[in-house]
Amino acid sequence: MIPAQLAEHIIEVTYLIATALFILSLKWLSAPASARRGVLAGEIGMTLAILGTLLNRGIVDYKWILIALVLGAIIGVPLGLVHMTAVPQRTALSHAFGAFSVTLVGSAEFYLRSPHVTPFMMSVLSLEVILGSLTVTGSLMAAGKLQEVLPQRPITYRGQNIVNLSLLALAVGVAIVLVLHPEYRLLFPLIVILPLIFGVMMIVPIGGADMPTVISLLNSYAGLSAAAMGFVLDSKLLIIAGALDGSSGFILSVIMSKAMNRSFTNVLFGAFGQVQVAEKGVAEARPVRSATPEEAAGILAAANSVVIVPGYGMAVAQAQHKVRELFDILTKRGTDVKFGIHPVAGRMPGHMNVLLAEADIPYDRLLDLEAINPEFPQTDVVLIIGANDVTNPAARTNTTSPIYGMPILDVDHARTVMVIKRSMSPGFAGIDNELYYLDKTLMLFGDAKTFTGEMVRELGKNRNG
């Protein structure tokens, strides 16, 4: 048995190291080259945090903790093995579990302490329970929509925002009464039930494809509720980890909403994601220029500089390995090949980075929006592989477009643009792309993987011949 004072010291030190590792983890996760180190730092930090907590003198029986650990591992291991396209819903489920435990702990603490709860303690307890409960149902709804077990389409009705905000306001009102009168124990279930309903209602008007942004917002709510729990349990580690989680989720939602051209108030109130399907049906058949894989390979062979812009279509086609072959063959020929990565290309944050890293494309070849945009005027060929909205010049010029104001990759500034996609169908925003009708644009109709593979074969022939 470790003496009490020594155990205290060990706990303090492990928590301090865990905190430092969480901060470093976030820092390292922000760049592809250090992301793996970031994941490892986070894992070690979390293991230390758990081990430190297990030394706590307050624990009277380890039996239930062991049972919970086994159950958690049984659920957690398969969750960690899901296919990459299911990562957003997997993340939503972990938020739901985290928020559920926060809500349970908050409720237990209230009933243990009431009526002797100070106003400050009751305020943080209420914050913890309200944010925790709404995150539980919000995350379950988000996971259900993404997994398509719930209808993906947004369901809206008149006065929806007022109904939703009234529910939340009612929960806050009850919380204020409890802060003033913590002895009104019968009122407590209301600050659980009302936010649980709010969580469902908040997600109802949001379309399935917008869920990744919502999930990052729910991540933020889960983090804030954990930070509030840190105040209740007097745990500095929880306060810091929760604050990191809350703020990083919040920053990611802001970045994503900006990159997707959603106003931030929309994000905060949840009622977003009703993608306006603009001008559907009036898309007139305008002429475009198209090319075969042989012709496209010939153009690539003649180029000195090529920027590849991947998008959702590359992910769907799982074309990343063929893209790697194309990168290799062009690089060997002496062509300067870079990748232009838009922050919301694909359907989840970092989608393109993860796919290209899986195919072992060197990280220093991946340039984000701000870095690659000034390079387009000097670029011979831009090859767009299954990207659409993130390249649409309407975002710069057409004030009536639903994507007006969204920062885009300025691919139209390059000398030649080639676009691999299967048809003239629009992308996520449901709008036509002016880029396809420019004189400098060549449409390469076909599946991203097949077409890229055919170009690689042609370039191989060229080299051999």
Task: List b or e across 110-124, with b for residues whose CB sees 16 or more CB atoms inside 10 angstroms.
Answer: beeebeebeeebbbb
Shortest spacing between CB 187 and ligand NAP, in angstroms = 39
| CB proximity list for 264: less than 8 A, separation 6 or greater | 254, 257, 258
Q: Which of 193, 175, 194 is nearest to 184 (CA)?
A: 175
CA–CA gap between residue 335 and residue 294 (Å, rounded): 18
Tell which one of 428, 434, 453, 459 touches ligand NAP (CB under 6 A). Answer: 428
Work out whether 154 is an interface residue with ligand NAP (CB under 6 A): no
Work out whether 272 is an interface residue with ligand NAP (CB under 6 A): no
For residue 430, the Cα-to-chain-centroid distance in whole angstroms is: 21
Work out whether 389 is an interface residue with ligand NAP (CB under 6 A): yes
Work out whether 313 is an interface residue with ligand NAP (CB under 6 A): yes
Work out whether 210 is an interface residue with ligand NAP (CB under 6 A): yes
Q: Is there a catalytic annotation at residue 389?
A: yes
Binding window for ligand NAP (CB under 6 A); candidates: 41-49, 104-112, 206-214, 453-461: 206-214
Tell which one of 113, 321, 415, 422 touches ligand NAP (CB under 6 A). Answer: 422
Work out whether 312 is an interface residue with ligand NAP (CB under 6 A): yes
Nearer to ligand NAP, 195 or 313 (CB): 313
Work out whether 90 is an interface residue with ligand NAP (CB under 6 A): no
Shortest spacing between CB 225 and ligand NAP, in angstroms = 24
Work out whether 249 is an interface residue with ligand NAP (CB under 6 A): no
Binding window for ligand NAP (CB under 6 A); candidates: 13-21, 154-162, 307-315, 393-401: 307-315
Task: Give the contact letters, 328-367, x = binds to ligand NAP (CB under 6 A), - = no.
Answer: ----------------xxxxxx-x----------------
Shortest spacing between CB 340 and ligand NAP, in angstroms = 11
Nearer to ligand NAP, 145 or 351 (CB): 351
Tell which one of 42, 138, 270, 311 touches ligand NAP (CB under 6 A). Answer: 311
Shortest spacing between CB 328 and ligand NAP, in angstroms = 21
CA–CA gap between residue 97 and residue 69 (Å, rounded): 14
Binding window for ligand NAP (CB under 6 A); candidates: 49-57, 114-122, 190-198, 305-313: 305-313
* Residue for token pair 């670029």: 379
Tell which one of 19, 91, 219, 388 touches ligand NAP (CB under 6 A). Answer: 388
Work out whether 464 is an interface residue with ligand NAP (CB under 6 A): no
Nearer to ligand NAP, 113 or 422 (CB): 422
Nearer to ligand NAP, 25 or 433 (CB): 433
Catalytic residue from among 210, 245, 389, 410: 389
Nearer to ligand NAP, 227 or 387 (CB): 387
Work out whether 209 is an interface residue with ligand NAP (CB under 6 A): yes
Binding window for ligand NAP (CB under 6 A); candidates: 199-207, 306-314, 361-369, 453-461: 306-314
CA–CA gap between residue 83 and residue 308 (Å, rounded): 25
The contact set with ligand NAP (CB under 6 A) reads 209-210, 212, 256, 260, 311-313, 316-317, 344-349, 351, 386-390, 420-423, 425, 427-429, 447-448
Indicate which residues carry an active-site annotation.
389
